[in-house]
Amino acid sequence: MKLATLNDGSRDGRLLVVSRDLSHAVKAQGVNTMQQLLENWSDFEPGLQQQYAQLNNGELSETLFFDPAQVMAPLPRTHQFVDGSAFLNHGNIMEQAFNLTIKNEDNRPIMIQRQGDDFRGPCEDYPFPSEADNGDFEGEVAVILDDTPMGVTPAEAESKVRLLVLMNDVSMRAHLFKEIQLGFGFLLAKPATVFGPVAVTPDELGEDWKEGRVHLDMNVSRNGEWFGNPNGGEMDFSFGELIAHLCYNRNLRAGMVLGSGTFSNEKYNKVGSACLAERRAIDVIECGEPKTDFLHFGERLRFEMFGRDGQSIFGAIDHRFVQADTKR
């Protein structure tokens, strides 16, 4: 099943059921918002699956043309968002390029609390205060959970994954190392996150959702030019392992969002990267200095994942970076 949230002028929008080919949509029956669905999944999911089947079979008359520019993030806001760094190759590249030493002797998953009250839609212009903030992007996949109890195993945790979403984890790199040195997590370095048009249930990925990982390429372009297509199969910690780690001493509630961290593969010379910081680190390794610019105003980014049939899974994040109106 594929779901989206129509921007109807409200904070949480109107839940839509979207056709598999992303051409048409219909307002969800019996439930108005994504959060309402997540908190009452067993009550509403069977009816929405039936509506989804009818939509795909052309059995519904009152449908809408699906326009990604008219939707918000699938879940426009949530009470908790945690982002991971589950592709260790990304960290290895950064350590090699900048002579960093990360002490993680017991091989724990790396995660950080993030902002969950202001998610951005897939086609919105993204405002930056200044190019001096060193704007960056990170192509990721995230999961959205049902209620998940303390002490779950990784296998049990995977069963709590209700939806998957595509995301661009936007960064302001000029602030990152300053905030790391303060030792209290990121704030200015990690502004609002951007999400793809639709959220999908795990079954939509078929055989490419296995072992708690999305075994598909993250296709990234910058100003229409290929930037990378690393595959999610190289994720070192599965989503089940990340969730279980989080649940060691706490419960997670329906609507919790957990990101994978930027996609990164060992054969980066062949598949490229999904973020600028990694590409700049590769520049340092290969050329002795960064050659790749951070983002400039007016640049356009696109992120998309395709199934084995060539069909777009989540639709595309396709947005520009623009100068913020700081007078408001």
Mean pLDDT (the chain) is: 95
Tell me the pLDDT band of 276, cut-offs 50, 70 and 90.
very high
Residues 210, 109: one domain? yes
Q: How high is the pLDDT of residue 105? A: 65
Check pLDDT > 80 for residue 109: yes
User: Which of residues 19, 35, 69 is at a domain's end?
Assistant: 69
Q: Is residue 288 part of a domain?
A: yes
Residues 61, 153: one domain? no
Tell me the pLDDT band of 311, cut-offs 50, 70 and 90.
very high
What mean pLDDT comes out for the span 288-312? Answer: 97
Q: Is residue 56 part of a domain?
A: yes
User: Which of residues 69, 92, 107 is at a domain's end?
Assistant: 69
Residues 85, 46: one domain? no
Q: Is residue 293 part of a domain?
A: yes
Q: How high is the pLDDT of residue 327? A: 63
The total number of structural domains in the chain stands at: 2
Check pLDDT > 90 for residue 68: yes
| Three-state secondary structure call for residue 285 | helix
CA dihedral 200, 201, 205, 210 (to 10 degrees): 130
Check pLDDT > 60 for residue 328: no
Residues 253, 304: one domain? yes
Residues 121, 165: one domain? yes
Percent of the chain residues topping a pLDDT of 70: 98
Q: Is residue 297 part of a domain?
A: yes
Residues 164, 15: one domain? no
What mean pLDDT comes out for the span 236-261? Answer: 97
Give the bridge partners for 83, in sequence order: 112, 259
pLDDT tens digits, one per residue of 16-29: 999 999 999 999 99
**What pTM was estimated for this model as a whole?**
0.95
Q: What is the CATH number of the domain that holds 172?
A: 3.90.850.10
Residues 31, 156: one domain? no
What mean pLDDT comes out for the span 176-191? Answer: 84
Q: Is residue 163 part of a domain?
A: yes
Q: How high is the pLDDT of residue 227? A: 98
Q: How high is the pLDDT of residue 29? A: 96
Check pLDDT > 80 for residue 100: no
Residues 144, 213: one domain? yes
- Residue 187 belongs to what domain range? 75-323
pLDDT tens digits, one per residue of 78-91: 999 999 999 999 98
Tell me the pLDDT band of 252, cut-offs 50, 70 and 90.
very high
Tell me the pLDDT band of 103, cut-offs 50, 70 and 90.
low
Check pLDDT > 80 for residue 33: yes
Residues 20, 149: one domain? no
Contacts of 154 (CB under 8 A, 6+ apart): 212, 238, 240, 241, 243, 244
User: Which of residues 40, 69, 98 is at a domain's end?
Assistant: 69
Q: Is residue 328 part of a domain?
A: no
What mean pLDDT comes out for the span 286-315? Answer: 97
The CA distances from residue 66 to 24, 26, 34, 197, 309, in Å, are 5, 9, 17, 10, 20
Check pLDDT > 90 for residue 179: no
Q: How high is the pLDDT of residue 98? A: 83
Tell me the pLDDT band of 275, cut-offs 50, 70 and 90.
very high
What is the β-pairing status of strands 64-65 and 24-27? antiparallel
Percent of the chain residues topping a pLDDT of 90: 89
Q: How high is the pLDDT of residue 40? A: 98
Residues 150, 254: one domain? yes
Residues 110, 237: one domain? yes
Q: Is residue 216 part of a domain?
A: yes
Residues 136, 276: one domain? yes
Tell me the pLDDT band of 108, cut-offs 50, 70 and 90.
confident
Q: Is residue 17 part of a domain?
A: yes
